[in-house]
Amino acid sequence: MIKKTILILFFISGIQLIFSPQANTWGFFAHKEINRIAVFTLPSELTGFYKSNIEFITEHAVDPDKRRYAVKDEAARHFIDLDRYGKSPLDSLPKKWEDAVKKYSEDSLKAHGIVPWHIDVMVKRLTAAFRAEDYDRILQLSADLGHYIGDAHVPLHTTKNYNGQLTNQKGIHGFWESRLPELFNDNYDFFVGKAKYIEDPLAEAWQAVAESFAAKDSVLLFEAELNAKYPQDRKYAFENRGASLMKVYSAEYSDEYHKMLDGMVERRMRKAIVTVGSMWFTAWVNAGQPDLDKYKDRKISKETEAELADEDKHYKEGKLNGRSCD
């Protein structure tokens, strides 16, 4: 009997390991959706170029997460633990990087995440790529920028309790950003309107994390409330994913939680989509609106392809640098 129990426990813990590593940052599914749909927010001068490259922009929406396996500094670019900066972090933390470094030091800023500043850096890099009409860079940076903007819209990317690990809610990160969009995405309305020119990309990035931060208490509290009243044996289920069996939050439990959130996941995804389109458009305008139609039939270079394949190899070998949300 004891032997059997141990065997079962071993089996269950083996299944839980399969929770990783895809449980990070909007899940791969939502990141791809955000980048793909953002293409349709663009004005006519940009739609030809982006539509003919929509597959690349979609598939590479998750490169920054994969890069965390190869690049030591990558992890910090995906989040900002605002609650490390006192009771009113949005007042105490300077918005400009140089001012924030003066107040808190570069090391401590990097330890607590830098996503809003990194978005601003990426917009500038994309602007330079447009100016240089560097085809490969435009595509790579567009895909990457979409990823970081997506992350900034996730409430649990703005708190040190990013996976509910401080409140006995471990797993909530992937629950909110992967499981819920995968289950309910088909019912979301993604007619988000047209991309707009953004005067101040850094301020826009701060706005995104401020909204996420304002929502993170509900994300945690609602799940805690639901968990307290829900029959524990119905909280999880096992689902087949390809060859593996995966432990997931059950469909009914997910449905209850999703109702309590009252459209929050959809709202954050919608906001992320229009912001991604707007930031691409802004970089292009700031670069002097180069004509991109002539590149419509071009393909990505062999060198860039090799570089991306190398990143993918590191990812598949699976040595993560920094934070994981599994």
**With binding defined as CB under 5 A, does residue 144 bind Zn ion?**
no
C-beta of 319: minimal distance to Zn ion in Å?
Answer: 17
**With binding defined as CB under 5 A, does residue 25 bind Zn ion?**
yes
C-beta of 112: minimal distance to Zn ion in Å?
Answer: 16
Q: How far apart are CA 226 and CA 221, in angstroms?
A: 9
Q: Provide the 10 A C-beta neighbour count for residue 142.
A: 28
Instruction: Report the site for Zn ion in 229-258 (rule: CB under 5 A).
Output: none
**Residue closer to Zn ion, measured from CB, 151 or 266:** 151
Cβ-based neighbours of 153, under 8 Å, separated by 6 or more: 208, 211, 212, 268, 269, 271, 272, 275
Instruction: Report the site for Zn ion in 43-72 (rule: CB under 5 A).
Output: 65
Q: Which residue shows structure tokens 């990783």?
A: 20
Binding flags for Zn ion, 111-130, as an x/- string (CB under 5 A): --------------------
**Residue closer to Zn ion, measured from CB, 136 or 151:** 151
**Residue closer to Zn ion, measured from CB, 46 or 126:** 126
Cβ-based neighbours of 241, under 8 Å, separated by 6 or more: 18
**Residue closer to Zn ion, measured from CB, 209 or 292:** 209
C-beta of 253: minimal distance to Zn ion in Å?
Answer: 25
Phi, psi of 131 (to 5 degrees): -60, -40
Instruction: Report the site for Zn ion in 204-223 (rule: CB under 5 A).
Output: none
**Residue closer to Zn ion, measured from CB, 81 or 253:** 81
DSSP state of 295: G
For the record, the structure tokens of 156 come out as 């649990």
**Residue closer to Zn ion, measured from CB, 38 or 292:** 38
Q: How far apart are CA 293 and CA 101, in angstroms?
A: 41
C-beta of 115: minimal distance to Zn ion in Å?
Answer: 9
**With binding defined as CB under 5 A, does residue 151 bind Zn ion?**
yes
Q: Nearest to Zn ion by Cβ — which residue? A: 25
The alpha carbon dihedral of 50, 53, 58, 64 has a sign of negative
Q: Which helix (H) or strand (E) holds 238?
A: strand 236-241
Binds Zn ion by CB under 5 A, chosen from 67, 78, 118, 173: 78
**Residue closer to Zn ion, measured from CB, 222 or 280:** 280
The angle formed by the CA atoms of residues 168, 157 and 31, to the nearest 5 degrees, is: 115
Residues that bind Zn ion (CB under 5 A): 25, 65, 78, 151
